[in-house]
Amino acid sequence: MKFYGKGRQIELEVGKIYHAMKPVINSVWTASFTVVEEGKIYLITYDRDNPIGYDREAEFYLHVKEDDKRNITEIRVSEDSSSHSTRPSDEFEVVNSKYIFSYDGPKTEELKMFPSLKWLATQSVAKKFGLGENENKNKNIMKIEKVLMFDEWSKALSEKKEEKTEEGGEEKKEEKKEEKNPLVDKVGDLSTNMNDTVTFEKPKKLEVEDKVWHIVAVTPDKAHRGIKVTYKEDDDDKEKKVNFFDFHKDAQQDLYDLLKKSI
């Protein structure tokens, strides 16, 4: 069974996990998703730790549409990164719309929404991702080989550590919760205290390892307690604007220190 996107340009097969990538500065955001019905997809993960995106193995390029609360409502996937390309591209509604940074794997209550997602709740997947013992275990819904496709993107989820109990010797899994970025609150406070866009007459130089950015201006995004950064790359005179946390993790602390001193 296959379903088209809203524009009927791209057709996706039910039961297959697809990947779409979005390169941003020196990181790559990757979405893993599966189609559930005509024009609609279930978004499984969306983060910048997925090796598939960095290895350029994703089937599509990605554009994410958010609402004013930063919930992902729709994605556009295309076979070419250029906005002027004549190659197929299509839009899909995200049935499990939620905050952009909260896609870290399938959720039990969401799997019950659509019949085409039942295969996600087979016994193998339930055991691997802790979805519970009472989930649908009908292995005939999807061959186990399809379920093993989860291995491709499982590295993008929170780390799971397997160890054997000392007494019974049975395997158990401990889920290591992803630590909150300590800069989130600090950047939020900085945004709150800013009145308007701050433009630097002489761009501030941010240098991390072999990458150099010239910070031209910063604008508070008070609605989301964030900061938008306008910058130029060392070898490009074109101005670009991104959110603070779109910078590579290694650069975020240095960028915060730079802004803290300059604003």
Do 13 and 112 fall into the same domain?
Answer: yes
Q: What is the pLDDT of residue 116?
A: 64
Same domain, 116 and 8: yes
Decide if 25 is inside a domain: yes
Q: What pLDDT, on a 0 to 100 scale, did the predictor assign at position 162?
A: 43
Sign of CA dihedral 25, 56, 60, 111: negative
Q: Examine residue 178 and state whether it is found in any structural domain, yes or no.
A: no
pTM over 0.75: no
Predicted pLDDT at 133: 43
Q: Report pLDDT for 53.
A: 81
Determine the pLDDT at residue 177. 52
Res 249: pLDDT? 77
pLDDT number for residue 48: 86
d(CA 153, CA 155): 5
130 backbone dihedrals φ, ψ, rounded to 5°: 65, 40
User: Residue 246: which domain range?
Assistant: 183-262
> What is the rounded CA–CA span in Å between residue 125 and residue 180?
26
Which residue ranges of the chain lie beneath pLDDT 50? Answer: 123-124, 130-167, 171-176
Give per-residue pLDDT as tens, 65-121. Answer: 999 999 999 999 998 766 556 778 899 999 999 999 888 777 766 766 666 676 665
Asked if residue 255 lies in contact with residue 244, where contact means CB atoms within 8 angstroms, the answer is yes
Segment (H or E) for 224: none
pLDDT at position 125 is: 53
Q: Which DSSP helix (H) or strand (E) runs through 148?
A: none
Whether residues 129 and 42 fall in one domain: yes
Same domain for 43 and 149?
yes
| pLDDT score recorded for residue 157 | 37
